[in-house]
Structure 1
Amino acid sequence: MSRQAPWSRPELRAPLGWWQKQAASHKDGLCALVLAVLAFVPTLSKIGAQIGDLPERPASALGLGLTLAQTLPLAARRRWPAGTLTVVACAFAVHQALGFATTFGSLGLYLAVYSAGAHQVRFRLRSAAVASAAYAGLAVVLERLGSPQGVPDYLAFYLALAVVWLVGSTVRTRRAEEAERRRLAAEVATAAERARIARELHDVVTHHVTAMVVQADAAQFLLTSAPQRAGEGLSAVSDTGRRALTELRYLLGVLEATGDSSAADRARADRAPTLGRVGDLVEQARSAGQPVEFSEQGERRPQPLEVELAAYRVVQEALTNAMKHAAGQPTRVRVRHGEERIEIGVTTDGSDDSPTAAPVTRKPSPAGGRGLAGLRARVRMVDGELEAEPRPEGGFELRATIPSKPVQE
């Protein structure tokens, strides 16, 4: 049977939770008050910092004030670390020089030194040099007052204080490094989110606007050649606009849900384009006058949202390029659902003597356009591969392979 950690017990969790919720200033104030009270507990009087070993003088109001001066200023140790160290160190020095009895409150010196190392922001080395010089002066004063301590004793006490300061400085450095890592991680996450939104906007706007331009041109041509069919073209433009608005609302829903992961997931799941809507893309391209042949093989199974969206965008980008660069050329869309991967292929015909196919058959740059570059990045994010290249006989071919990751319904 495993042993339960002491702080995980119900009677301890509530006080621990209350303590963690308190502001740093409240914690420091409470610690300073507790240390001040413990300084007057007789059984703890032998525990403390001691360097002078001068003849002990009786307790007095001055000794009481010096003891409180070594403890209560610690309430401001994070806000004013240098000032706190100055007050506590001066009180400790006078307390030692006057020969008052050691108290538990003298441990406040160690906490003040640690706070200076951990929380002092400006003039750190200068403050350390001034404190070292002041300690050397205290050692000279105690020697003149008849202290039995020798140079090794003063050096050992100084080294103990230096170690405490270095511990605080190390904690400060690590906190600064962690804060810098969090800042960089936040910048990377923000940049990645901006890039993702830019890709989404590019895919939505480019595809739908291209389709609407093609459909509007066709409708304008039909107004003069076949007026009875012009209404169909205008209706196609209207349908395309509605699809664009639906996808833009989806993007806005994701943006509005930023910071609420569950709301973002719901917004994305409710309106995100999926593989099941590829048929809508095909119909939209056909209504724009692009002859598209669509075939789907294998059993379609529910996939994670990222996989569904990546596959959808592959087909959308391919059809957009076909309508832009090879309007009227036969296009074939093939989707194969396998056990281990989803394979997508989109092929557009073209010929060297066809003006509409000429932009397709020219050799693209290695990185492709903005759409293909973003598409490659999207497919890589789901561990897939994307290939896009011109066909030897004319036209263009795009192939994507995305690992299948079925989810339980």
Structure 2
Amino acid sequence: MSTRPARWFTRLAADPVLALVFTVFSFLPFTALLGTTLGDLPKRPVDVFAVVLTLGMTLPLAVRRRWPAGSFAVVAVCFAVHESVAYPATAGTLGLLIALYSVGALQDGYRRTVAIASTVGYAVFCVVLYLRHSPNGLADFVLFYAAALAGVTIGMLVRTRRAEEVARRRLEAETAKAAERSRIARELHDVVTHHVTAMVVQSSATKYLTGSPQQVAESLDTIGDTGRRALKELRSLLSVLEATGDQPSAGKSPALDDVADLVAVIRNGGQPVELVEEGERTALPKAAGLAGYRVVQEALTNAVKYAGGHRTVVRIGYRADEVDIEVASEGAAATPDWSLSGGRGLSGLRERVQEVGGKLSAGAAADGVFRVRASIPTGSRA
């Protein structure tokens, strides 16, 4: 469940509390020295109207977040009347500063209109003070206006910083979504290309085994196993795409430990494949183990496509700080077109390996053997 409504309600509830506390604070005798004054007119005794004006400068803060301009308008009018009538100083006049900040930080529309109306209203207020023979001069009025403008500017800076933070978070979310889409597309390519290629090759070879019912049965079993593997991995990927809000039931991702089964499936399909493991198996992070598995899977897929029937050797060397993988295919084309399966083969492998801090290279050697080499750190950052 989203927490945004709860946060919105909490913020709105905080303003009435602020207004209530500030109102009580404004009527305490010792807080009068904190008040803001303008005009320096001879003071008149406090009466009921003075109390009403003080409440008008504090209570509207309860809705400053919902209606910042309206809240500021009420506070500003009450402040102007309070100073024009010349009531004694009160801490409630500080509500004007809070209202000014709120307009700068929270007002969405009609910002220019609010600025013009406020400036005109302040000019009228200054004229009223002048007509009442206020000892303040033009410099005092300009200085007070500059202080009010500073309050609005602080609010605008906070608003800008908040907007930049929202934009940054949105950009991060979009980047994360794009990366996730790229990852899923790459996974789909690896799963579909490998398994479908294996099934096509196996089914094509089955028609030549009609003289041996046992071999036909084994071939069909291999095709069925390959299809089930593909469905299992596809279900795992599709569960991530479900927009249910629930945690996807992700199955176990393939890792280097599963390479032996992968080699067995390819071998059963008629491709002569040999697996050589050196050193003691090392536990890899999930992403690193998956990257290593995909390297072998993609290389074997292309060996079946471009070097069918020729010997392929898979070597996995477990070292203290990294795992070295090499898939060497004899009889492959010097520069096989790895883009036939969607353009993500070799480039996708290199990107995947680099993401876990490893390196990948591929190419034909002088002996005509096409080799795919990958080095993956055991302490991969992924």
Q: TM-score, normalised by structure 1?
A: 0.85
Deviation at 1:66, TM superposition (A): 1.3
> Distance in 1 between the 2:380 and 2:119 partners?
67
User: Equivalent residue of 1:45, what SS?
Assistant: helix
1:10 equivalent in structure 2: none
Asked if the contact 1:69/1:87 (under 8 Å) is kept, the reply is yes
CA separation in 2, counterparts of 1:364 and 1:289?
22
Offset of residue 214 of structure 1: 1.2
Q: CA deviation at 1:46?
A: 2.6
Aligned 8 A contact 1:233 1:287 in 2: yes
Q: CA deviation at 1:22?
A: 6.4
How far 1:143 sits from its partner (Å)? 0.7
Residue of structure 2 equivalent to 1:77? 64
Partner of 2:207: 220
Amino acid at match of 1:313: R
RMSD: 2.6
SS at match of 2:325: strand
**How far, CA to CA, are the matches of 2:49 and 2:379 in structure 1?**
76
Quote the residue 1:247 is aligned against. 233
Task: Specify the alignment match of 1:390 in structure 2.
Answer: 364
Query: Where does residue 302 of structure 1 map in the other structure?
Result: 283
Quote the offset at 1:47 in angstroms.
2.0
Does the residue aligned with 1:46 lie in a helix, a strand or coil? helix
- Range moving further from structure 2, 146-155 or 170-179: 146-155
Please name the residue that 1:319 is paired with.
300
Query: Is residue 126 of structure 2 the alignment partner of residue 139 of structure 1?
Result: yes
Q: Distance in 1 between matches of 2:65 and 2:235?
A: 48
Q: Deviations over 1:338-364 (max 9, x none)?
A: 1222111111111xxxxxx5xx33465
In the alignment, residue 405 of structure 1 is paired with which amino acid? G
Q: Distance in 1 between matches of 2:34 and 2:209?
A: 99
- Over residues 139-169 of structure 1, what are the superposed CA-to-partner deviations in whole Å (9 max), with x where a residue is unaligned? 1110111111111211221111111111111
Aligned partner of residue 376 in structure 2, secondary structure: strand
Partners of 1:369 and 1:281 lie apart in 2 by 23
Q: Which residue of 2 aligns with 1:15?
A: none
Structure 2 counterpart SS, 1:387? strand
Displacement of 1:88 in angstroms is 0.8
Normalised TM-score (structure 2): 0.91
Rounded to whole Å, the distance in 2 between the matches of 1:254 and 1:401 is: 29
1:339-358 map, 5 Å: 339-350=320-331, 357=332
Q: Secondary structure at the match of 1:271?
A: coil
Shift of residue 90, structure 1, vs aligned partner: 0.9
The offset of 1:193, in angstroms, is 1.0
Distance, in Å, in 1 between the alignment partners of 2:173 and 2:120 is 43
| Equivalent in the alignment of 2:107 | 120
Alignment match of 2:224 (pick from 234, 238, 249): 238
- Alpha-carbon distance in structure 1 between the residues aligned to 2:352 and 2:326: 16
Name whichever of 386-395 and 144-153 sits farther off. 386-395
CA distance in 2, matches of 1:177, 1:307: 35
| 1:52 to partner: Cα distance | 1.7
Task: Give the gaps of 5 or more residues in structure 2.
Answer: 1-6
> 1:385 & 1:215 partners in 2: Cα distance?
32
Deviation of the 1:392 alpha carbon: 4.2
Aligned to 2:334: 361
Residue identity over aligned pairs, in percent, reads: 50
Q: Is the 8 A contact 2:285 2:378 kept in 1?
A: no
Specify the SS of the correspondent of 2:20: helix
Aligned match for 1:66, one of 53, 63, 71: 53
Shift of 1:276: 0.9
Task: Give SS of 1:289's match.
Answer: coil
Give 3-state SS (helix, strand or coil) of 2:34's partner. coil
Q: Is the 8 A contact 1:363 1:390 kept in 2?
A: no
The aligned length equals 375
The match for 1:278 is: 259
User: Aligned residue for 1:371?
Assistant: 345
Which of 167, 173, 177 does residue 190 from structure 1 map onto?
177
Q: Structure 2: which amino acid aligns with 1:373?
A: S
Amino acid at match of 2:321: E
- The offset of 1:245, in angstroms, is 2.4
1:166 paired residue among 147, 153, 178: 153
Give distance in 1, aligned partners of 2:82 and 2:141.
16
Alignment of 1:144-163 (within 5 A): 144-163=131-150
